[in-house]
Structure 1
């Protein structure tokens, strides 16, 4: 795979206008340079969600020097769920590819930052001086994101300068539903504000709707402002006073910085893009009696929205989206039927083409992977092309006609299956804890949300197809998942818990005891951050081989995920384990001397006995062994100190 003309665009979600603007700007620059930008929609890196959205992040492992020459990383949205320090550590794992950050200034990476210092100050002062507002609230979220903290700081600064009381309302996140929840106590009698400054346009729209429902007139009684200047800002009633971040320019500037890095040209550490205030009806600067689509700039000059007929746009967009959702509903109905993998492979091209997707590929791992929440996903060594087509080149490949296998660690897709990667988007294919693989596709003319829904439905259909085809026939969940950890050859978590419970119960029934071990590799995160994830993978494989050698076939050995290993050893005692533990440490030292690796391999292990007088629950015994592991870790670090 030729990586010299390919770059990655790392974004949490591709549907929001913010994301689309950045993507459009970056793509415009790269297109001029003859380069192809591949969009990786990864979801949130440290998502607090209790659902299975963490699976989206698996596709980040496809971004490497084997697939792209550089990456634009949209850091702002990620900081709503994690810290800058965590993100910077995460970015180091992509070395040696070049990286540009949008939204946060990391010391080691060039960045593009949107500055709202002037515009945010101007907006709040405008409310104070132009509209005589004295009770101004800020509707925001708790976040490490630069932009959120800066806007909050500026709001507080202006309020302090004008001797006005701060009123800060916190929502759980920047979404519509959460904003409505944050404002649920507001009613016509309790509303004490004459203006509400919202952290984004989504919150502002929710705020306007909530106030209207409470019988509070906007902007007559309460002024509402937003941030982002989304397309709907000029369409809603009243049209929204907001701040334009010049998102397209941010994407374009980031692309230029990355291009110059790749070419070895001088690159400034930081590029600042100034934001501008857009005054509309929601602050009373434009009368609701005037023509729709008008706004004032900071100098008081009157302008007209790029949408020449806003009312027509609203109606046209509504009907277009309505038709799209009708079609997606029909597709969902068709997908409910039981279908084999072979039939699904051949049907996918027709279904996708009907939604304007002219080029796509579905790549499945040789064995679907069951995962718990992860920081970094270790890609399997083997995948196959389930279906790939390119209508412009009039070619298609189906897995039942030509089984094409490849290593996803070395290439996104075997050469020649699609004509180019321009405008290609990559998404994970998963359902629940089961990760099947990933899809690459060129988005068509439909609303981005339609494609997001399509691939979620496709994931469910794939899960049904695997079950219908009876690819795996073990236990219910094992119908789609191997019990073996692909990286090490040991049992994976599901395999260990299933077979381990049988071994434990068998020993107890026979009146025999043994020990349960729980261990993890010392400093694996440091190994990953310092030497890269390939070194971390080597450490995991090496430790697995040592444990397999030491404990042999009479014990059950498993890798539970990441750097964690567990062993069920019937007949062994805690005293006998002391000698084995020394042997494990000796084997690690031998590896460190002979491997030639820069990192130092070692493992800490906690041990608990099982027998007639102990718990018979494997979960409980592992939890107790984990506590013993913690004590071993303390000893390990004390010895190093």
Structure 2
């Protein structure tokens, strides 16, 4: 395969942490050399959602296939923190129709880049003991299934044991790789043991180390003097926090570069090693005591304790960067405020380019699923529909865009992630994100990031999701209102009423019943479709004549009208068949309704002087966002009715009317 045709996918948990930014930077460097394009899929983490509907992010993994990619790099180190290793292995292998590379975790039969955490941790622990005379150690660790956390803790225990320093269970404080979890864990430890009585705290990542630093500062513990604190990852903030943080650098940019190099070789059918190790390196700063607190010129000391100074432009660029980010935040705030307006899909299409290019996006496309896909948090994979619509797209590099006045471009997303006419450029990096709200996936967006802070693009996606959801619902309301008007015009000419009972006839019921379902769902209401079949009407007709049968039908219709609400849609859809659409009616009410109808039939039988008895069997089915076709729901309700009749026959409850 020629270099120019190569598209490499990158599956990550998010797009804004320093880890993923550096990894993607390394991948981009190699891909630019080889003329490859990149599609980035921020799918979240397996087995956990940090917000109620974050699980929808993983829907875009459906596009990681041979139709869209030549190879896929998966950041397994951040994917597997909350699942078993076997679950992670099975997940990675589910993409094995294309060449794969794993970064962080060894996956059988998949080339894996493994970070050796021991060199960096060993150097830092040795420094703490030999140079700073630390003797009482605590580890801020991670509970759960994280393989990386397990490996780091294992190395820490190993090196400390070599110095005859044992860690008790009480010396290991369990957090969850986040600042908040670490702060809570430290507070719980102090509550139980009275203090943070250690002269060294080794944290399994930098965010947890920041929490430890803040605790010590708040409680008058002198960092670098009374206590040494170290982290892991060496994220950008580590150099600028006060005091600066001693950490372990994973050479993440190098990981990304090598991963791209390996996947490219696999695509070219070249042999590669299954395991590629990368060593960590120590970064000594103020928090361990290696750099004086008043030293403002030294960034860090390397493995050989050589001083690495800040570049003269580093601090100036930090100030300039903050000013730029403040302006970016103001734009995001304005976008959020303007997104409160009620719009439809037509308006959404027309404003899409202006909305996103203000965030320095020069190429983007957004795709709509109609209807949206319903997915709850239990789903593990997604089956894409055969039809989707690219409703808006633009490319400032080529000065082109979809004319919003023309129809959306329909295509099959199972075959391609975008229509063929909207091509990806080589040497460019695109992000793919789900557009969703709550349980509904409305589509996805593909875009080329600009110069804005990465987290702001996540916020932009969230706002676009709310906008598109609102626009879709408003459009459906408009279409429903328009359809209702058209139906009223038609129904003013043709009768919708069953002449015998005064109920809707089948045509009228299908029109108004479907409309009632749509209107209910627009108000976030589910409901029931109830199917009724009179018992023994044929026997009544055969025994007592059709006039008697007509009396029975009219009486049953009156009973149904008396039991159901004025807002429910009731129709006679056949000789002895009735159907009701009841928005907002919960399933738990069904037994009461059946009882009330049976009681009304019994009262009629006792009060009216007729030789036959009135009775009806009922079945029902539920409608909801993921199941809204009246025809299909009626079929399901009819199946329920069949089971009800079968049960009544079995229990000897058949009404014979003899």
Q: Deviations over 1:347-384 (max 9, x none)?
A: 11112111100000010112112211211011111100
Checking the alignment, whether the CA contact within 8 Å between 1:362 and 1:440 is kept in structure 2 is yes
Separation (CA, whole Å) in 1 of partners of 2:522 and 2:373:
12
Checking the alignment, whether the CA contact within 8 Å between 1:48 and 1:81 is kept in structure 2 is no
Separation (CA, whole Å) in 1 of partners of 2:295 and 2:51:
47
1:479 is matched with which residue: 511, 522, 527? 522
Separation (CA, whole Å) in 2 of partners of 1:150 and 1:568:
59
Report what 2:635 is aligned to: 553
Q: Does 1:350 align with 2:432?
A: no
Q: Does 1:257 align with 2:262?
A: yes
Separation (CA, whole Å) in 2 of partners of 1:160 and 1:496:
70
Local SS of the residue matching 1:315:
helix
Separation (CA, whole Å) in 2 of partners of 1:95 and 1:87:
13
Checking the alignment, whether the CA contact within 8 Å between 2:46 and 2:80 is kept in structure 1 is no
- How far is 1:276 from its partner? 0.3
Separation (CA, whole Å) in 1 of partners of 2:594 and 2:154:
63
- How far is 1:158 from its partner? 2.3
Q: Does 1:319 align with 2:323?
A: yes
Structure 1 residues 574, 161: closer, same or farther in 2, change over 3 A?
A: farther
Q: Does 1:58 align with 2:62?
A: no
Structure 1 residues 252, 499: closer, same or farther in 2, change over 3 A?
A: farther
Report what 2:373 is aligned to: 369
- How far is 1:169 from its partner? 3.9
Checking the alignment, whether the CA contact within 8 Å between 1:355 and 1:446 is kept in structure 2 is yes
- How far is 1:146 from its partner? 2.8
Local SS of the residue matching 1:553:
helix
Structure 1 residues 361, 114: closer, same or farther in 2, change over 3 A?
A: same
Equivalent residues in 2 for 1:99-498 (5 A)? 99-166=100-167, 168-185=171-188, 186=190, 190-305=195-310, 307-373=311-377, 374-398=379-403, 400-420=405-425, 422-471=428-477, 473=480, 474=517, 478-479=521-522
Separation (CA, whole Å) in 1 of partners of 2:523 and 2:451:
34
- How far is 1:316 from its partner? 2.7
Equivalent residues in 2 for 1:505-584 (5 A)? 510-511=597-598, 553=635, 555=637, 570-571=643-644, 573=646
Q: Deviations over 1:90-124 (max 9, x none)?
A: 22322311111001001121111111112212211
Structure 1 residues 35, 576: closer, same or farther in 2, change over 3 A?
A: farther
Separation (CA, whole Å) in 2 of partners of 1:481 and 1:23:
40
Rg comparison, structure with higher value: 2
Separation (CA, whole Å) in 2 of partners of 1:311 and 1:399:
45
Local SS of the residue matching 1:254:
helix
Unmatched 5+ stretches in structure 1? 484-494, 518-547, 558-566, 578-608, 612-641
Report what 2:529 is aligned to: none
- How far is 1:88 from its partner? 1.5
Checking the alignment, whether the CA contact within 8 Å between 1:38 and 1:425 is kept in structure 2 is yes
Separation (CA, whole Å) in 1 of partners of 2:148 and 2:421:
43
Checking the alignment, whether the CA contact within 8 Å between 2:49 and 2:55 is kept in structure 1 is no
Structure 1 residues 363, 480: closer, same or farther in 2, change over 3 A?
A: farther
Structure 1 residues 25-34 or 171-180, which shifts more?
Answer: 171-180
Checking the alignment, whether the CA contact within 8 Å between 1:104 and 1:145 is kept in structure 2 is no
Q: Deviations over 1:155-187 (max 9, x none)?
A: 111232323241544444211122211122549
Structure 1 residues 173, 399: closer, same or farther in 2, change over 3 A?
A: farther
- How far is 1:45 from its partner? 2.3
Q: Deviations over 1:552-589 (max 9, x none)?
A: 936467xxxxxxxxx77542547999xxxxxxxxxxxx
- How far is 1:403 from its partner? 2.1
Structure 1 residues 508, 66: closer, same or farther in 2, change over 3 A?
A: farther
Report what 1:533 is aligned to: none
Checking the alignment, whether the CA contact within 8 Å between 2:520 and 2:583 is kept in structure 1 is no
Checking the alignment, whether the CA contact within 8 Å between 2:411 and 2:419 is kept in structure 1 is yes
Equivalent residues in 2 for 1:28-47 (5 A)? 28-47=29-48
Q: Deviations over 1:29-71 (max 9, x none)?
A: 1221111110011112221546000100000011111111110
- How far is 1:465 from its partner? 1.5
Structure 1 residues 227, 509: closer, same or farther in 2, change over 3 A?
A: same
Checking the alignment, whether the CA contact within 8 Å between 1:358 and 1:391 is kept in structure 2 is yes
Report what 1:88 is aligned to: 89
TM-score normalised by L of structure 2: 0.74
Structure 1 residues 355-364 or 317-326, which shifts more?
Answer: 317-326
Local SS of the residue matching 1:425:
strand
Checking the alignment, whether the CA contact within 8 Å between 1:239 and 1:280 is kept in structure 2 is yes
Local SS of the residue matching 1:338:
coil
Structure 1 vs Structure 2 CA RMSD = 3.3
Local SS of the residue matching 1:409:
coil
Q: Deviations over 1:219-256 (max 9, x none)?
A: 22211111111112111111111111000110111111
Separation (CA, whole Å) in 2 of partners of 1:516 and 1:468:
29
Q: Deviations over 1:440-462 (max 9, x none)?
A: 00000011011111110111111
